[in-house]
Amino acid sequence: MVMFKKQYDELATKVNDYLRITLDSMKKYPKIIFDSMEYSLFAGGKRLRPVMLLASHKLLEGDLEESLPLAGGLEMIHTYSLVHDDLPAMDNDDFRRGVPTNHKVFGEGIAILCGDALLNLAYETMIDNALRRPEKLINHLNAINTIAKAAGIRGMIGGQVVDLENEGKDIDPDILQYIHEHKTGALFMASLKASIMLEDPPENISKALLEYGKSLGLAFQIIDDILDVVGDDKKLGKMTGRDREKDKATYVDKYGLEKSWSIAKELCDNAIAQISIFGPEGEFFIQLANFIIDRHN
């Protein structure tokens, strides 16, 4: 576990450094939007998606310098979705990761533009990177395409829409699963798919990675629901019970705490089973699954 933590932190530091350099190159543009983007990009996120992208690219023996801008782009997309999701017209959240949400600090207008700017910058960054890799242009375009599809109406945005539509309604378990698979699962999966697009591994290898991502993504969301009920406000950095207050569809409402835990645990075991194909090299992903099931924020 110590080794895992060290590896995780090394990858997360790579992502942070990359985001820092990318933002610093924008300092000559309107200061307030720069400040607003910086505020949310560096508000203490776990960097889970970009770390997964880099770790899976490493597992496939890729060069991390090549995938780093895709990892950065993925984190920008994740961050934009949080900034917009927190807006009064959406989830109306005042705190995120222990600090006031973007619109609470910069106002709603700038928060909307900040999200737009982060989404657009993700594509600018990923396309710039692709243009620097003429020998692997098709691989990079396929990777960007994978991330784009996961971020759009067929993926994350689709999940957000169905989530918004179903607030306060008694919803079907199928719809609940649709929301989770799309709103959270799609970008999760995209982190693994993108590395697959870059390296074209054999079919059984990509299948194992994708099955892992599918199970773990859903487990992650269920744990999120559980933490919303039993979590500690201070550790979570946001108000617990918010989802229930807003009558949002959660696994805990549908199945109760105990059953939700056992579903999450089973999904995690499923995920870990997929990774055996990699032998000792897969250790990081096994530990990552344990980390997700044991997390407190």
Neighbour count for residue 136 (Cβ, 10 Å): 17
d(CA 101, CA 44): 12
Nearer to a second copy, 164 or 273 (CB): 164
Q: Are 204 and 64 in contact (CB under 8 A)?
A: no
Nearer to a second copy, 53 or 113 (CB): 113
Residue 251 beta carbon to a second copy: minimum distance, rounded to whole angstroms: 21
Residue 58 beta carbon to a second copy: minimum distance, rounded to whole angstroms: 25
Residue 8 beta carbon to a second copy: minimum distance, rounded to whole angstroms: 29
Q: Are 69 and 43 in contact (CB under 8 A)?
A: no
CA 254 to chain CA mean position, Å = 24
| Binding residues vs a second copy (CB under 8 A) | 26, 29-30, 32-34, 37, 80, 84, 87-90, 103, 107-113, 115-117, 119-121, 123-124, 127-128, 130-131, 134, 137-138, 141-142, 144-145, 148-149, 151-154, 157-158, 160-162, 164-165
Neighbour count for residue 161 (Cβ, 10 Å): 14
**Upper half-sphere CA count for residue 70 (Cβ side, 13 Å):** 35
Instruction: Transcribe 143-211 into DSSP letters.
Output: HHHHHHHHHSTTTHHHHHHHHHHTTTS---HHHHHHHHIIIIIHHHHHHHHHHHHHH---HHHHHHHHH
Nearer to a second copy, 153 or 257 (CB): 153
Nearer to a second copy, 36 or 195 (CB): 36
Residue 109 beta carbon to a second copy: minimum distance, rounded to whole angstroms: 5
Nearer to a second copy, 141 or 226 (CB): 141
Nearer to a second copy, 173 or 256 (CB): 173
d(CA 122, CA 148): 10
N residues, the chain: 297
What letter would DSSP give residue 42? T
Nearer to a second copy, 84 or 214 (CB): 84
Residue 130 beta carbon to a second copy: minimum distance, rounded to whole angstroms: 6
Residue 240 beta carbon to a second copy: minimum distance, rounded to whole angstroms: 23
Task: Classify burial at 112, counting beta carbons within 10 Å of its beta carbon; exposed 0-12, middle 13-18, buried 19 or more.
Answer: middle
Residue 265 beta carbon to a second copy: minimum distance, rounded to whole angstroms: 31
